[in-house]
């Protein structure tokens, strides 16, 4: 079978590289070295005689100043980033670590500082050894001034960003954006570009996972090519976010001839990217779980921060409201892979991921109970049948939990009053 990499697969791999802290600094370091040697190229042109003369001492002074300070600033930035990462894991949830780690401003800052240090060291060595003529020295001076300006601008922006990096509000926003992107992508392709599963029963030869971990990504293009080669229909059983093990079925395969011969399922299994951790890109439920964990930690007796839980509840309302919005691409659920059937994510399961722990851990906080009733009422009034059913179930369940945990009759009456008011409003719709 021809081994091709689809755009969706490239997106997944690119995002994984974005989570590596060394990738961007390494690229900037190589670019810095290339810039130093590129300055030498102008010495071979006739226009080199038109370049103004620049004193070598001025270039050496600038480069020496940059070389002496950039390594210190880069070390300081790494220490600040590590502190922010630790704060994000301890105050929010460890599941948000990858999002904080891939923060663009912080990675750009670290890359700029390290790249400027490498640039200054390499350029200083070249100047001291008379590597440049007059034109090359002028170009190097211009590059040094540009790099110096970039360092100053980056440092100012980074100081403003590092003050927020790792804070609970910033972490919630990062998780919300990641969940929103994954949810919109799934809403545009609820079956990942495959066809909808028809009927409750699934038949065919079961293919099991060969590794233990979470399904992070499904390469639908590779799966389609494999199905074309063996002339088969594939029903995906393990969506991204599913915990895979040797006894977990990844997919069911049905040969068009009706027979179930022995076939090589190696390429089919390789189409399922399995790793140790869940990822946000193709697993919107993971984002809901991470937000729910942030709220649950805020509601713990050690933290006692109901305001954060209320903020997360508002975030859930925004996210679930996306389900009713029109498709961004305008071609929602247009099948691209006619040999692959994929189940859609259950709205009920997403509500379980989002609201179960908040309703349980916040049952003793009347302000959280009230906000939860209002939020679920808002979702129930959207007009979507699945959302309406799931919201009603969790609204009633949250009311039962609150009545069970709250001790003061007045608090119970407040929560019941909000629930009854919501019920009356919905009956009028």
Q: What confidence score (pLDDT) does residue 41 get?
A: 76
Helix (H, G, I), strand (E, B), or coil: what is residue 273?
strand
pTM summary value = 0.80
Q: Is the dihedral of CA 346, 347, 348, 354 positive or negative?
A: positive
The span from the CA of 235 to the CA of 13, in Å, is: 24
Q: What confidence score (pLDDT) does residue 179 get?
A: 95
The span from the CA of 22 to the CA of 381, in Å, is: 47
Neighbours of 421 (CB within 10 A): 13
Contact of 395 with 376, CB cutoff 8 Å:
yes
Contact of 292 with 284, CB cutoff 8 Å:
no
DSSP for 184-245, please give it: HHHHHSTTTTEEEP-SS---SEEEE-SS-EEEEEE-HHHHHHHHHHHTEEEEE---TTPEE-
The span from the CA of 311 to the CA of 111, in Å, is: 33
pLDDT 10s digit of each residue in the chain, 429 long?
444 566 777 777 777 776 677 777 888 888 888 888 887 777 666 665 666 777 888 888 888 988 888 888 888 877 877 777 777 667 777 788 778 777 777 778 888 888 889 989 988 888 888 887 778 888 888 888 899 899 888 888 887 777 777 688 888 998 999 999 999 999 988 999 899 886 566 778 889 998 999 999 999 998 999 988 888 889 999 999 999 999 999 999 988 665 556 678 888 999 999 999 899 988 999 999 999 999 999 998 888 899 999 999 999 999 999 988 765 555 556 788 889 999 999 999 999 999 999 999 999 999 999 999 999 999 998 878 899 999 999 999 999 999 999 989 999 999 998 888 766 655 555
- The interaxial angle of helices 347-361 and 284-298, nearest 10 deg, is 10
The span from the CA of 138 to the CA of 204, in Å, is: 71
């Amino acid at each position: 079978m021809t081994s091709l990499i689809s755009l969706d697969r490239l997106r997944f791999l690119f995002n994984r590289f974005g989570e590596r802290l060394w990738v961007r600094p390494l690229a900037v370091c190589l670019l810095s070295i290339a810039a130093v040697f590129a300055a030498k190229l102008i010495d071979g042109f006739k226009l080199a005689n038109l370049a103004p003369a620049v004193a070598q001492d001025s270039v050496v002074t600038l480069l020496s100043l940059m070389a002496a300070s950039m390594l210190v600033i880069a070390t300081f930035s790494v220490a600040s980033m590590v502190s922010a990462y630790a704060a994000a894991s301890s105050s929010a949830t460890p599941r948000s670590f990858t999002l904080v780690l891939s923060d663009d401003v912080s990675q750009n800052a670290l890359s700029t500082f390290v790249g400027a240090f490498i640039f200054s060291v390499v350029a200083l060595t070249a100047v001291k050894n008379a590597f440049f003529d007059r034109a090359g020295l002028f170009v190097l001076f211009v590059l040094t001034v540009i790099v110096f300006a970039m360092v100053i601008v980056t440092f100012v922006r980074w100081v403003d960003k590092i003050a927020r990096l790792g804070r609970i509000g910033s972490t919630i926003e990062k998780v919300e954006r990641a969940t929103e992107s994954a949810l919109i992508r799934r809403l545009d392709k609820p079956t990942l570009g495959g066809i909808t599963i028809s009927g409750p029963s699934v038949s065919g030869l079961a293919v099991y996972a060969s590794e233990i971990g979470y399904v992070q990504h499904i390469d639908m293009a590779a799966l389609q090519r494999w199905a074309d080669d063996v002339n088969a229909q594939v029903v995906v059983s393990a969506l991204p976010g599913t915990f895979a093990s040797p006894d977990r079925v990844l997919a069911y395969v049905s040969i068009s001839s009706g027979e179930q011969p022995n076939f090589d399922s190696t390429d089919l299994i390789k189409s399922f990217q399995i790793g140790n951790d869940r990822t946000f890109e193709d697993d919107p439920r993971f984002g809901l779980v991470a937000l729910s964990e942030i709220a649950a930690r805020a509601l713990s007796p050690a933290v006692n921060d109901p305001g954060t839980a209320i903020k997360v509840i508002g975030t859930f309302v925004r996210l679930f409201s996306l389900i009713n919005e029109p498709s961004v691409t305008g071609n929602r659920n247009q099948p691209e892979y006619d040999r692959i059937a994929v189940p859609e994510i259950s709205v009920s399961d997403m509500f379980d991921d989002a609201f179960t722990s908040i309703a349980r851990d916040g049952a003793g906080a009347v302000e959280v109970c009230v906000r939860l009733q209002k939020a679920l009422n808002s979702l129930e009034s959207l007009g979507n049948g699945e959302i309406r059913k799931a919201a009603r179930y969790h609204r009633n369940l949250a009311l039962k939990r609150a009545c069970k945990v709250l001790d003061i009759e007045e608090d119970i009456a407040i929560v019941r009053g909000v629930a009854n008011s919501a019920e009356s409003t919905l009956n009028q719709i």
